[in-house]
């Protein structure tokens, strides 16, 4: 019998076509504010182990080129956002070129006074675990988290130096049942493909339903239920269904700081070797403390999730991350990002019925300083550290430093 997720790619394409038609409808003539920006950067850097390879590695020098276009359109009932990042680093010492591309689009449309829909599409083609010059935006009036750097969501990939292509789509419908009650139905889909032998391509679909109630001006409580279905291509081993009930809370603890959290369980139905199956449970949850104003962006996050991995099936991923962006003056910004993530041993047992002790860890930090010399022209310096550990293979850490300039030639 065909897997229920075998058509994930077809669903992604269908959703993409429907979203495109929806976005075209949203773009019908109306009072609109459109903003297009295109930033181009050039830098030179050094890295002690750019791909976190095994064994002794020579220090590399690399020029890097980066192009970042962004388009935002705001109408009375609709907001659209499309952005991309195209980057290429050219290393010496036979490391070759590290080219990456990410493209994301999202739309929000208000159907009525009480109901809105949201949709997003994304394509990511990157070598996971390599460090780029990351800057945290400050003073931009958008929801916290929507434009912040993304950390490695599969710690098992950190330090492998292999390319991942990910096609992602999501949509949700949000409806106010009363001035205090809100319900949301959503679905997210992803198709993940990996370079090289020994990696497991997989598709992942997660429908979800949530309810929240406003108890006071700054205090929400709620509950959610999601089902994560992972489908590993060319093998049934690793397939899993993860049932995820949880309780949620959100509270504004001051005029600037917001605390959000969730706590629940993951009930995991696993497909193992020789047609065997097994059910296991684990604790899932998250906590986010965030602030955003004209001078400071800051987010401190903890997370524990049960998700599919590129290696040997579903794992429990535990992570802690920090994002800080500080505007020192009208011309000077500081940024810091840091993250630690741990992928547990695979939850699936091997063919002889034992679990494997091969958890994997990944640590990365990056700090940068930028200065605007004049409108549209700025310079930056950055330094970073990345380390993959926890497995039996020893890899040296990667220390990086770079300096460069950015020019905004559209959208001053």
User: Tens digit of pLDDT for each residue in 169-209?
Assistant: 999 999 999 999 999 999 999 998 888 777 788 899 999 99
Q: Is the pLDDT confidence value at 51 over 60? A: yes
DSSP string of 148-194, one letter each residue: SPPPPS-GGGTTT--EEEEEEEEEEEEEESSSSEEEEEEEEEEEEEE
Q: Tell me the sheet residues that pair with 211.
A: 183, 223
Q: Which pLDDT belongs to residue 69?
A: 93
Q: Which pLDDT belongs to residue 149?
A: 44
Q: What is the mean pLDDT of residues 65-74?
A: 92
Lowest mean pLDDT among 42-46, 274-278, 390-394: 390-394
* pLDDT class of 235 with cuts at 50, 70, 90: confident
Q: What is the pLDDT of residues 122-146, one digit of tens each?
A: 998 987 655 555 555 554 434 434 4
Q: Which pLDDT belongs to residue 201?
A: 87
Choose among 73, 90, 64: nearest CA to 30. 73
Q: Which pLDDT belongs to residue 126?
A: 84
CB 172 within 8 A of CB 117: yes
Q: What is the mean pLDDT of residues 367-374?
A: 93
Q: Which pLDDT belongs to residue 261?
A: 95
Q: Which pLDDT belongs to residue 138?
A: 52
Whole-number Å distance between alpha carbons of 120 and 296? 27
Provide, rounded to the nearest whole percent, the portion of the chain with pLDDT above 90: 46
Q: Is the pLDDT confidence value at 246 over 90? A: yes
Lowest mean pLDDT among 1-10, 47-56, 192-201, 277-286: 1-10
Whole-number Å distance between alpha carbons of 79 and 73? 6
Q: Which pLDDT belongs to residue 234?
A: 78
Q: Is the pLDDT confidence value at 29 over 80? A: no
Q: Which pLDDT belongs to residue 11?
A: 45
* pLDDT class of 409 with cuts at 50, 70, 90: confident
Q: What is the pLDDT of residues 289-346, one digit of tens each?
A: 998 888 888 999 999 988 888 777 788 888 899 989 999 999 999 999 888 888 777 7
Q: Is the pLDDT confidence value at 403 over 70? A: yes
Only one residue has tokens 């990667």, namely 398
Q: Which pLDDT belongs to residue 345?
A: 74
Whole-number Å distance between alpha carbons of 163 and 158? 11
Q: Is the pLDDT confidence value at 66 over 90? A: yes
- Comparison of pLDDT for 6 and 372, the residue scoring more: 372
- Comparison of pLDDT for 9 and 252, the residue scoring more: 252
Q: Is the pLDDT confidence value at 20 over 60? A: no
Q: Which pLDDT belongs to residue 344?
A: 78
Q: Which pLDDT belongs to residue 23?
A: 52
CB 334 within 8 A of CB 146: no
Q: Which pLDDT belongs to residue 55?
A: 73
Q: What is the chain's mean pLDDT, rounded?
A: 81
CB 268 within 8 A of CB 242: yes
Question: 241 is written with which tokens?
Answer: 């269904």
* pLDDT class of 148 with cuts at 50, 70, 90: very low
Q: Which pLDDT belongs to residue 393?
A: 64
Q: Which pLDDT belongs to residue 140?
A: 44
Count of beta carbons in the 10 Å neighbourhood of residue 130:
21
CB 27 within 8 A of CB 80: yes
Q: Which pLDDT belongs to residue 155?
A: 54
């Amino acid at each position: 019998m065909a897997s229920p997720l075998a058509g994930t790619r077809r669903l992604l394409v269908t959703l993409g076509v429907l979203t495109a038609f929806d976005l075209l409808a949203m773009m019908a003539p109306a009072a609109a504010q459109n903003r297009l920006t295109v930033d181009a950067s050039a830098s030179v850097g050094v890295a002690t182990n750019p791909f976190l390879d095994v064994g002794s590695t020579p220090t590399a020098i690399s020029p890097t080129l980066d192009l970042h276009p962004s388009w935002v359109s705001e109408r009375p009932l609709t907001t659209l956002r499309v952005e991309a990042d195209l980057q290429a680093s050219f290393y010496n010492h036979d490391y070759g070129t590290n080219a990456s591309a990410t493209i994301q689009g999202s739309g929000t449309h208000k159907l009525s006074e009480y109901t809105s829909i949201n949709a997003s599409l994304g394509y990511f083609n990157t070598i996971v675990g390599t460090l780029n010059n990351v800057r945290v935006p400050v003073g931009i009036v958008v929801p916290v988290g929507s434009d912040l750097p993304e950390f490695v969501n599969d710690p098992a990939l950190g330090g492998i130096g292999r390319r991942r292509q990910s096609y992602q789509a999501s949509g949700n419908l949000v409806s106010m049942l009363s001035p205090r009650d809100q319900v949301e139905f959503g679905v997210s889909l992803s198709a993940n493909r990996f370079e090289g032998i020994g990696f497991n391509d997989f598709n992942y679909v997660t429908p979800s339903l949530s309810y929240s109630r406003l108890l006071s001006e700054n205090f929400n409580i709620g509950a959610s239920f999601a089902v994560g279905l992972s489908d590993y291509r060319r093998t049934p081993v690793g397939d899993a269904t993860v049932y995820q009930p949880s309780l949620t809370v959100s509270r504004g603890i001051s005029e600037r700081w917001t605390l959000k959290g969730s706590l629940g369980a993951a009930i995991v139905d696993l497909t193992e070797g020789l047609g065997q199956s097994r059910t296991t449970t684990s604790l899932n949850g998250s906590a986010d403390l965030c602030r955003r104003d004209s001078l400071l962006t800051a987010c401190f996050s903890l997370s524990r999730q049960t998700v599919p991995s590129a290696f040997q099936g579903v794992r429990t991923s535990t992570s802690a991350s920090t994002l800080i962006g500080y505007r020192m003056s009208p011309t000077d910004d500081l940024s810091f990002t840091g993250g630690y993530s741990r992928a547990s041993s695979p939850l699936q047992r091997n063919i002889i019925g034992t679990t494997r002790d091969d958890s994997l860890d990944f640590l990365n930090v990056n700090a940068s300083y930028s200065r605007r010399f004049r409108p549209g022209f700025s310079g930056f310096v950055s330094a970073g550290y990345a380390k993959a550990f926890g497995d039996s293979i020893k890899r040296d850490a990667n220390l990086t430093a770079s300096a460069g300039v950015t020019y905004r030639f559209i959208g001053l």
